[in-house]
Chain A
Amino acid sequence: MKSLAILRIAFWALGRNKMRSALTMLGIIIGVSAVIALVSIGQGAQSMIQQQLESMGTNVLMVWPEDTRGSGGARRNSDDEGTLTAQDVIAIRSEVPLVTAASPIVNANGQLIFGNRNTYARVQGTSEEYPLVRDWEIAHGEFFTADDVAAAARVLVIGQEIVDEVFDGVDPVGQTVRLRNLPFRVIGVLASRGQSGMGQNQDDTVVTPYTTAQKKLLGQALPRVNQAMMKVVSQDAMPFAESQTINLIRQRHNIVPGMDPDDFAVGNMSEVADAAQETTFIMTLLLGSIAAISLVVGGIGIMNIMLVSVTERTREIGIRMAVGSRPGYIRLQFLSESIMLSLAGGLIGVVIGGGASTLISQFSTMSTVVSAGSVLLSFGFAAAVGIFFGYYPAHKAAGLDPIDALRYE
Chain B
Amino acid sequence: MIGATLAGPEVRSTGEGDRAPVIQLDDVHKTYYMGADIQVHALRGISVQVEQGEFVAIMGRSGSGKSTMMNIVGCLDHPTKGRYLLDGVDVSTAPKAELADIRNRKVGFVFQSFNLVSRTSAIENVELPLIYAGVGSRERRRRAEEALEIVNLADKMKNMPNQLSGGQQQRVAIARALVNDPAIILADEPTGALDTRTAIELMGVFQDLNRERGMTIIIVTHEPDIAEFGKRVLLFGDGRIRKDYDQRQLEVLRKEHHMSELGGSAGSWMDDVHEEDAQ
Nearest CB in chain A: distance from B277 CB, A: 27
Q: Which B residues are in CB contact (< 8 Å) with A282?
A: none
Are B129 and A326 within 8 A (Cβ)?
no
Taking a contact as CB atoms under 8 Å apart, the answer to whether A326 and B97 are in contact is yes
Cβ contacts under 8 Å, A406 to chain B: 111, 115
* Residue A9 at the chain B interface, CB threshold 8 Å: yes
Q: Which residues of B lie under 8 Å from residue A5 when comparing CB positions?
A: 131, 137
User: Would you give the shortest CB distance from A252 to chain B, in whole angstroms?
Assistant: 86
A327 to B99: give the CA distance in the assembly, Å.
10
Closest-by-CB residue of A relative to B125 is A319
Query: Which of B77, B96, B134 has the most CB atoms of chain A within a 10 A radius of its CB?
Result: B96
Q: Which residue of A lies closest to B119 (CB)?
A: A16
Closest chain B residue to A319 by CB distance?
B115
Which residue of B has the minimal Cβ distance to A330? Answer: B100
Closest residue on chain B to residue A407 by CB atoms: B113
Contact with A along B224-265 (1 / 0, CB 8 A): 000000000000000000000000000000000000000000
Q: Is A353 an interface residue (CB 8 A)?
A: no
Pair B118/A316 contact, Cβ less than 8 Å = yes
15 sample A-B contacts, Cβ–Cβ < 8 Å, listed by A number: A1-B134, A2-B132, A9-B131, A16-B119, A319-B115, A320-B128, A322-B74, A322-B76, A323-B103, A323-B176, A324-B101, A324-B103, A325-B132, A326-B97, A326-B132
**Of B97, B105, B137, the contact of A328 (CB 8 Å cutoff):** B97
Q: From A327, which residue of chain B is reached at the shortest CB distance?
A: B96
**Of listed A318, A323, A325, A328, residue having the most chain B CB within 10 A:** A323
The number of residues on chain B lying at the interface, defined by a beta carbon within 8 Å of a beta carbon of chain A, is 28
Asked whether B131 lies within 8 Å of A326 as measured between CB atoms, the reply is no
Interface size of A by CB at 8 A reads 23
Distance (whole angstroms) from the CB of B268 to the closest CB of chain A:
33
- B90-122 toward A: CB 8 Å interface, digit per residue (1/0)? 000000110011011100010100011111000
A356 beta carbon closer than 8 Å to chain B:
no
Chain A residues near B71: list those with CB within 8 A.
403
Measured CB to CB, the nearest residue on chain A to B103 is: A324
Say whether, besides A324-B103, A328-B97, A319 and B131 are in contact (CB < 8 Å): no
Expressed in whole angstroms, the minimum distance between the Cβ of A320 and any Cβ of chain B is 7
B136 sits at the interface (CB 8 A) = yes
Q: Does A276 contact B (CB under 8 A)?
A: no
Residues of chain A in range 263-298 having any CB-CB distance to chain B below 8 Å:
none
Minimal Cβ-Cβ distance residue in A for B96: A327
Residue of B nearest to A406 (CB): B115
With A2-B134, A403-B71, A406-B111 known to touch, is A324 a contact of B117 (CB < 8 Å)? no
A324/B100 contact (C-beta < 8 A), A9-B131, A316-B117 known: yes
The chain A residue with its CB closest to the CB of B134 is A2
A212 to chain B, nearest CB (A): 87
Q: Which residues of B contact A316 (CB under 8 A)?
A: 117-118
State whether A324 touches B137 (Cβ < 8 A): no
Taking a contact as CB atoms under 8 Å apart, the answer to whether A322 and B115 are in contact is yes
* Interface hits, B117-163 → A, CB 8 Å: 117-119, 128-129, 131-134, 136-137
Chain A, Cβ-Cβ closest to B111: A406
Q: Indicate the member of A9, A315, A326 with the most B CB atoms within 10 Å.
A: A326
User: Which chain A residue shows the least CB distance to B136?
Assistant: A1
